[in-house]
Amino acid sequence: MPLTTFALVRHGQTDWNAQRRLQGSTDIPLNDVGRGQARDAVGVLSAYEWDAIVSSPLSRAAETAELIAAGLGLTVDRRVPELTERRFGPAEGLQAGPELDALRIPGGFRGAESEDKAASRGLAALEALAKEFNGRRVLVVAHGTLLRVSLGRAVGRTLQSIDNAVLNLAHHHPVDGWHLEYFNGERVMATIPG
């Protein structure tokens, strides 16, 4: 049975990233640093041939995907609403401090989407893409928290935060499940089963 290969790329930097504000589902655009990161990602991603490029519909991910696709001589196939970042509710836009601390509850923030729900939503979207593109290569541009919790659930371990516009390479096998090869641009396993 064939492996489906995924590049899972977090969008480039935004002003809110630079200010360390929670973005969540608030639609904050890329800044110039983020656009440069997207263009720079093309060098690593060009080592592979991609059969499809999909992204979250939020502008920071959509623009990152468009810049990467242009650099690869490809087009973005579609936006996948289920790849939208985890919703942080009233915590969105806040920086670390007393106001954010007042919203904290076990597992997240009051009024926010739970980490468990975000992981379920994100992994379901990736599983659907794995089924649709079975045995092919799919480049997905989405968001740090959504990718971290979805990929963490897929591989059965807690992952650290995901850097902007770096390669995370995972493989899906219909029987053996998910295997992570690169995380934040670093190899994490030597061989892939299948």
Q: Which helix (H) or strand (E) holds 130?
A: helix 115-132
14 is in an annotated binding site: yes
Is 157 annotated in a binding site? The answer is no
The CA distance from 48 to 136, in Å, is 11
Q: Which of 85, 113, 143, 172 is catalytic?
A: 85
**Residue 39 is assigned to a ligand binding site:** no
Q: Is 9 exposed, middle or buried (0-12, 13-18, 19+ CB in 10 A)?
A: buried
60 is an annotated ligand-binding site residue: yes
Q: Is 11 annotated to bind ligand?
A: yes
- Give the active site residue among 11, 143, 172, 179: 11
Would you say 15 is a known binding-site residue?
Answer: yes
**Torsion sign across C-alpha atoms 43, 48, 49, 52:** negative
The answer to whether residue 181 is catalytic is no
- 194: CB partners within 8 A, 6+ apart: 1, 2, 3, 171, 173, 176
Report whether 13 belongs to an annotated binding site: yes
Q: Is 11 a catalytic residue?
A: yes
Q: From the annotation, which residues make up the binding site for substrate?
A: 10-17, 60
Residues classed as catalytic: 11, 85
Q: From the annotation, which residues make up the binding site?
A: 10-17, 60
